[in-house]
Amino acid sequence: SQTIHQWPATLVQPVGSPLSLECTVEGTSNPNLYWYRQAAGRGLQLLFYSIGIDQISSEVPQNLSASRPQDRQFILSSKKLLLSDSGFYLCAWSATGGPGNTIYFGEGSWLTVV
Amino acid sequence: AQSVAQPEDQVNVAEGNPLTVKCTYSVSGNPYLFWYVQYPNRGLQFLLKYITGDNLVKGSYGFEAEFNKSQTSFHLKKPSALVSDSALYFCAVRDTDSNYQLIWGAGTKLIIKP
């Protein structure tokens, strides 16, 4: 069966410091990968999605970037964090193919920028 | 533009009573509809989806949803609520016009009282 792992679960970072959140998927190949941010415990905002290595799309302009160094690895980064980057970050995956494919989420990472 | 609406910010139900969490959508083509549940400080869990076929879709934890094309609705239901059903519920529709990403509702907080 497929599993998704996301880490770290929580982190507190000072303003201006770098960020690296990692996500890996097991039990599947060539998945679509996603990074979402959830603010204030409600709305989900798609940050990045990737349909393959070196194929990453950004949905919103921001202080963050994403990379996919391996087929099942997706990394969210920042060179210099802002206070507004605080939030709950969710990695997700889906199989390639039609619009009926389900998106499956990791357990999330709480980021607090101080 | 495609959209999804969850008109209730919060739903309160007594344990043992039936529950309904409402979702309406707007799409230009065939709808691909999803329900997810999120427990506090956790990632989203997939409950069920409608792609085609039977209008009544059954999912995890005893939940079901009824697709109603004429009313453009996809309400989530459960015959008998449990206290453990208390969580945040998200409805989503696939954006088939552009990049096939999920368009998310704002979420409905479900509170089941003993």
* Contact yes or no for A103 and B102 at CB 8 A: yes
What is the average pLDDT value for chain B, to the nearest integer?
A: 94
pLDDT value of residue B38? 97
Cα–Cα nearest to B39, from B7, B75, B83, B87: B87
For the segment B29-57, the average pLDDT, to the nearest whole number, is 94
* Contact yes or no for B45 and A103 at CB 8 A: no
For the segment B77-99, the average pLDDT, to the nearest whole number, is 90
CA geometry: angle B52, A25, B37, nearest 5 deg: 50
Q: Give contacts of B98 with chain A, Cβ < 8 Å.
A: none
Identity of the residue numbered A108: G
pLDDT value of residue B29? 82
pLDDT value of residue B98? 64
Q: How confident is the model at residue A41 (pLDDT cuts 50, 70, 90)?
A: low
Q: How many CA atoms lie within 13 A of A102 on its CB side?
A: 14
pLDDT value of residue B99? 66
Residue A83, Cβ neighbours under 10 Å: how many? Answer: 9
pLDDT value of residue A99? 84
Sign for the CA dihedral angle at B96, B100, B106, B111 comes to positive
Q: How confident is the model at residue B45 (pLDDT cuts 50, 70, 90)?
A: very high
Of B42, B46, B100, Cβ closest to residue A108? B42
pLDDT value of residue A37? 95
Q: Give contacts of A44 with chain B, Cβ < 8 Å.
A: 44, 90, 104
Mind listing the pLDDT tens digit for each residue in A48-106? 999 999 899 988 868 899 999 999 999 999 999 999 999 999 999 999 878 889 999 99
Top mean pLDDT of A39-43, A65-69, B101-105 is at: A65-69
Distance of residue A15 Cα from the nearest chain B Cα, in angstroms: 23
List the 22-41 stretch of A: residues with Cβ below 8 A of B.
41
Q: How confident is the model at residue B101 (pLDDT cuts 50, 70, 90)?
A: confident
pLDDT value of residue A112? 96
Of A41, A59, A107, Cβ closest to residue B43? A107
Of B42, B94, B107, Cβ closest to residue A107? B42
Distance of residue A46 Cα from the nearest chain B Cα, in angstroms: 9
Q: How confident is the model at residue B86 (pLDDT cuts 50, 70, 90)?
A: very high
Bridge partners of B8, per DSSP, are none
Distance of residue A9 Cα from the nearest chain B Cα, in angstroms: 10
Mind listing the pLDDT tens digit for each residue in B7-31? 999 999 999 999 999 999 998 888 8
* Contact yes or no for A100 and B90 at CB 8 A: no
